[in-house]
Amino acid sequence: MKILFIYPDIITNTMNFCPAIHVLSAVMKREGYETAMLHINNDNGIKYNQEAVVELSEGYDLFALTSTTFNYKYANEIAKWLKGAYPNILRILGGSHATIQPEDFESSNFDIFCVGEGEEPMKDLCRALECDMPWDKIPNLITRSGANLVRGFMRNLDSLPYWDFDITDTQKIIDQRKGFLSISFSRGCPYECTFCINHLYKKIEMGKGDRMSHYIRKRTPENTVNELESLAKRFDIKYFNIDDDLLTMDKRWMRAFTDRYTQQVYKQFGIKYIINARADSLTEDVVAMLAGSGCKEARLGFETGNEKVRNELLDKKTSDDDLIKACANLDKHGVQSVAFAMIGLPGESWDTFCDTLSMTIKLRPKLMRMTFLYPYKHTKIYDYCLARNLFKNEELTDNRDYGSCLKFDKITDQELFCMRFLFPWFVNEQWFYDIEYTKAIATFISLPLSRLKYMIPEIIEKDKELSENCNHLHYRYFSDNEYYFELHDNLKDAIQN
């Protein structure tokens, strides 16, 4: 059998890695199947074009697509093209959208939705197709015959093969992403942040006899580092971007990982890594392990500077003190801190925004990533907003980058846009009262939203001018990236140059 994986990587210009396909392709190759992939990306991959996709899909026995909610409309359209050109070839959708919105199956152009983890269902499906056996009752699959039982989660992640990076032009993606290769080694999370879909996965994958310790799974440090070493030998990599959220929570695992990584990767190849972490796990001893093994930066879920909103509305279970201590430990040991924050939480006001500004000044992360809150369907924050009639429209759109899908009583959409895109200016104004930032804010905040939406390039150019003339440690846009702001010191930069 020949399996064609299709990844609609449409929303961003830069190509992304696709964990689901890298893993599934490796599993299916080990089973003896032939796999290939269409990486749909208008700027750097295959064009999102019916003629091109149909032509390149000829000769395969199964079409397997993966999709998030934001890319679902593209995946479903591609399935429609394939249905018209190859009506006898099954089309299966996996990924988070199929799992969290299975109700979309009936109106979709797919023959199958895969719910939960897909390794075993894919093997069972291909065996059934090979033997011309029924496939509509396989656990984890939703078919036209109805939804089947869910088999639960995979216990031993070391039993999986190494990711298949041959199925993509991996070096091209690494180069586009400035030397970063993304990979992960764990599954499951005990927390239930209201903006996350994790609680939905737990409902699907955990049986009555399962414990949380079973659901949170990690590959062993030996297995993990051996794969990283193999990738270091094959590709020109500057940084490993380790996408797992909770590895630092297990000190014993981290000790074994950092020891092995230091010897097998960092000392041999000089490749540093980036890791995600909860603030309460970044104790000084853990940060020292990270720093000594080549950790470049640690990313934290900051979310909002208002502790009450963070813990009561978002159920983040992270205190201000946790964040302050974590960033202090990272600074002390020379590991850069990166804070993820959201604008447009329910009840957002100038008061909550000022809390976020104040906490940013206290933490002083090297980088800050700012987005609007987007409540995914069926998450707890989605249900919260739905119950309070906070959505502007019944249907959520993928235009989440330039505004909020929610309604607010205390701020306008125009003000919210400025909070998001003028964020570094607001920080600097509050931090050291530079009149130039005050004037710049006044210039843009007085404009209507209809104009502001098209002025982001102009805002970034103005930011460069303000930064060049700033004599203080300050925040500015990072490398023309509209999502990230960096802490910058002109004097230090001049000395280094």
Coil vs helix vs strand at 243: coil
| Residue 364 CA to its chain's centroid (Å) | 23
What are residue 352's phi and psi, to 5 degrees?
-70, -35
Q: How many helices (H) and strands (E) does the chain have?
A: 22, 17
Work out the burial of residue 374: count CB atoms within 10 Å of its CB; fewer than 13 is exposed, 13-18 middle, 19 or more buried. buried
Coil vs helix vs strand at 388: coil
What are residue 284's phi and psi, to 5 degrees?
-65, -35
Per-residue confidence (pLDDT) for residue 197, from 0 to 100: 87
Kindly state the greatest CA–CA separation across the chain. 74
Per-residue confidence (pLDDT) for residue 200, from 0 to 100: 82
Coil vs helix vs strand at 27: helix
Q: Which residue has the tokens 């992270």?
A: 318
Coil vs helix vs strand at 391: strand
What are residue 93's phi and psi, to 5 degrees?
-115, 130
Per-residue confidence (pLDDT) for residue 496, from 0 to 100: 59
Q: Which residue has the tokens 């702001």?
A: 485
Per-residue confidence (pLDDT) for residue 142, from 0 to 100: 95
Domains in the chain with CATH codes: 2-157 (3.40.50.280), 179-411 (3.20.20.70)
Q: How far apart are CA 126 and CA 3, in angstroms?
A: 9
Q: How far apart are CA 465 and CA 239, in angstroms?
A: 31
Which value, in Å, is the radius of gyration of the alpha carbons in the chain? 24
Nearest to 72 by CA among 98, 92, 51, 46: 98
Q: How far apart are CA 191 and CA 205, in angstroms?
A: 15
Read off the tokens for 318. Answer: 């992270």
pLDDT in tens, the chain (497 residues): 999 999 999 887 889 999 999 999 999 999 999 999 999 998 889 999 999 999 999 999 999 999 998 899 999 999 999 999 999 999 999 999 999 999 999 999 999 999 989 999 999 999 999 999 999 999 999 999 998 888 878 889 999 999 999 999 999 999 999 999 999 999 988 899 999 988 888 777 666 566 666 788 999 999 999 999 999 999 999 999 999 989 999 999 999 999 999 999 999 999 999 999 999 999 999 999 999 999 999 999 999 999 999 999 999 999 999 999 999 999 999 999 999 999 999 999 999 999 999 999 999 999 999 999 999 889 999 999 999 999 997 555 555 567 899 999 999 999 999 999 999 999 999 999 889 999 999 999 999 999 998 999 999 999 999 999 999 999 999 998 899 999 999 877 655 55
Per-residue confidence (pLDDT) for residue 208, from 0 to 100: 58
CB 411 within 8 A of CB 348: yes
